[in-house]
Structure 1
């Protein structure tokens, strides 16, 4: 099963060391002048991706404007419909920063305290919920078992319908957690979706639309398992080398399921520079209380975003065939996002190549 986070391996997306521990292929070893960057980016995509297979869409943003975008591959293998820069992907765990932003906006408005217990806002949980705080959820220090593992252990395949209620019921049966140490769990952000709904009186998708997406004029929606005419269909490679449809019938929110394009992600990234939504208070809350992730000299985990030792920001997400990498430079001026519709695609090579072109 492909879970919503591929560790915090995206931590090196915009650092000098490249992307995670993946070595940089020769095709990505490019240093470009400013004038050459768009052309070199297109050539990189052509070198790394095949036009007749699932592939990737990518974008580079500079101070909130899309400086370059490109795509290569097919969005639908049955029809040959190509991937384009307007192809829509489920960006999986990259969505977590939006859920965290919703919580922090409510905290700034005095609607909740990060020290509130989960039990205060989410009914039906065991006694341990009285000792787990909203802040524990935001920073993955609750110790709550990942609901994806719990549902999988109970026999739920990705093709079996599984709702938000199913996830909450599984969480309620989880073992007693030990809070305080970072342990990435999608359960945290499913519970945060419930906190937002309880406090604001609006489901998380509606809250984000009203308070984040529309104010920033972002073409984004939180819509699990959604498909539209621009959707890039997800695939997985079978042992015989053919591409088979992937996807999921699960409909949880909070931990993933934002539907958008890399171009919109790099536009959103500029909020980490400007604070156009949330102001300085949000920017401080997103990053200042980041916790160690247990990796030596590795990233710290902020509010739905990894804060790397060199000051860059990043997150990675993978779900049911989709994979996305998102990163922002330390000066917050440049952002790179790459989304692919097959998890087997070497997304790290694409992201690292674009990093070398645009940030060297």
Structure 2
């Protein structure tokens, strides 16, 4: 497989030079794992940045099941649960601006909720402690279907007393953002997240007419506000760097919402949907990691803050474990080479 370094010169003309630049060690960093990647049947993208500079950007396989269209940097994947970060950051931005509070009841923004749900706060929908049940999926599910489920739901537990990971929480976040800003979540995300992060190719899909021809085969067809988002790997890398570089919101606010997730029973799971994290004895953030699936599309986003290293892997072959194996080989190879 060929490393796409030839695209970096053109890329640097189009995007902020402080975010990405070339690195002389890029070619040798993947050479030793090319054979492994080929043997696994991996179909997807592998990106690595060091000190906010893109040092590896490589695409393996095809965008379609027929294997007629080679994968390129323009193709879109579903980030799965990693995409929940967009609604989370959106809510945190509005809180930082003083336009809402985490303790606000969502009934202030969403009308006709069932009686039990009127005690749900914004904190609850960010931490999956609302008591909302999981979405009942079907092909082509629309936001209106999810809202109907939301308005007719029966609470699994008293809000704030338990934990259940549910995309209804994510839809509710998007609805809250729309009520507060008086604009669609798509427009809000474009103006407040995608543009500041210089994400040029990503979008939200709310109906069949929104579907992009650049979307990679293998996703489950949905049209849900806040949930059904498609990104290019390079855009997701730019989002990660913007998020951790105070471009979108102060990163200290994000770090403050990592701990405290006691109800899920996972001590290193981030409280507000940023995946899992690792800290040292002095409470210094060492790394975090977030993965997502939909259903053959898989994403793994890993950030080593000590080394200022980001590894982003996205695939469409349905084999999630391969992403972790590639990540571990990359970490070992980059460490050995001193990059």
Q: Same fold (TM over 0.5)?
A: yes
SS of alignment partner, residue 215 of structure 2: coil
Q: Provide the aligned length of Structure 1 versus Structure 2.
A: 302
Q: Give CA-to-partner distance per residue, 1:188-217, whole Å, 9 cap, x none.
A: 111111111111111111101101110121
Q: CA, structure 1 residues 38+222, in 2 after alignment: closer, same or farther (shift >3 Å)?
A: farther
Q: CA, structure 1 residues 49+56, in 2 after alignment: closer, same or farther (shift >3 Å)?
A: farther
Q: Which runs of 5+ in 1 are unaligned?
A: 1-33, 235-246
SS of alignment partner, residue 263 of structure 1: helix
Q: CA, structure 1 residues 332+214, in 2 after alignment: closer, same or farther (shift >3 Å)?
A: farther
Q: CA, structure 1 residues 337+46, in 2 after alignment: closer, same or farther (shift >3 Å)?
A: same
Q: Give CA-to-partner distance per residue, 1:162-183, whole Å, 9 cap, x none.
A: 2111011112222223233332
* Runs of 4+ more than 6 Å apart: none
> Is the contact made by 1:293 and 1:299 (CA closer than 8 Å) also made in structure 2?
no
> Cα offset for 1:292?
5.8
Alignment match of 2:232 (pick from 245, 261, 284): 261
Which residue in 2 is equivalent to 1:339?
314
> 2:36 aligned with 1:47, yes or no?
yes
Which residue in 2 is equivalent to 1:69?
57
Alignment match of 1:231 (pick from 215, 236, 242): 215
TM-score where L is the length of structure 1? 0.76
| CA distance in structure 2 between the aligned counterparts of 1:324 and 1:129, rounded to whole angstroms | 32
Q: Give CA-to-partner distance per residue, 1:61-106, whole Å, 9 cap, x none.
A: 2233322111111111325211223322111111111110000111
Alignment match of 1:305 (pick from 267, 270, 274): 274
| CA distance in structure 2 between the aligned counterparts of 1:231 and 1:45, rounded to whole angstroms | 25
> 2:332 aligned with 1:356, yes or no?
yes
| CA distance in structure 2 between the aligned counterparts of 1:121 and 1:87, rounded to whole angstroms | 36
CA-atom RMSD in angstroms: 2.5
Q: Give CA-to-partner distance per residue, 1:253-298, whole Å, 9 cap, x none.
A: 22x3322222222222123432122225643454355556313xx4
TM-score where L is the length of structure 2? 0.80
Which residue in 2 is equivalent to 1:170?
149
Q: CA, structure 1 residues 72+306, in 2 after alignment: closer, same or farther (shift >3 Å)?
A: same
> 2:290 aligned with 1:315, yes or no?
yes
Which residue in 1 is equivalent to 2:221?
249
Q: Which runs of 5+ in 2 are unaligned?
A: 1-22, 280-284
Range that drifts further, 220-229 or 82-91: 220-229
> 2:267 aligned with 1:278, yes or no?
no
Superposed counterparts of 1:1-360, under 5 Å: 38-49=27-38, 55-147=43-135, 151-152=136-137, 156=138, 158=139, 161-178=140-157, 179-180=159-160, 181-219=162-200, 220-224=202-206, 227-234=211-218, 247-254=219-226, 256-280=227-251, 282-287=253-258, 290-291=261-262, 293-295=264-266, 298-310=267-279, 311=285, 312-331=287-306, 333-344=308-319, 346-359=322-335
> Cα offset for 1:132?
1.0
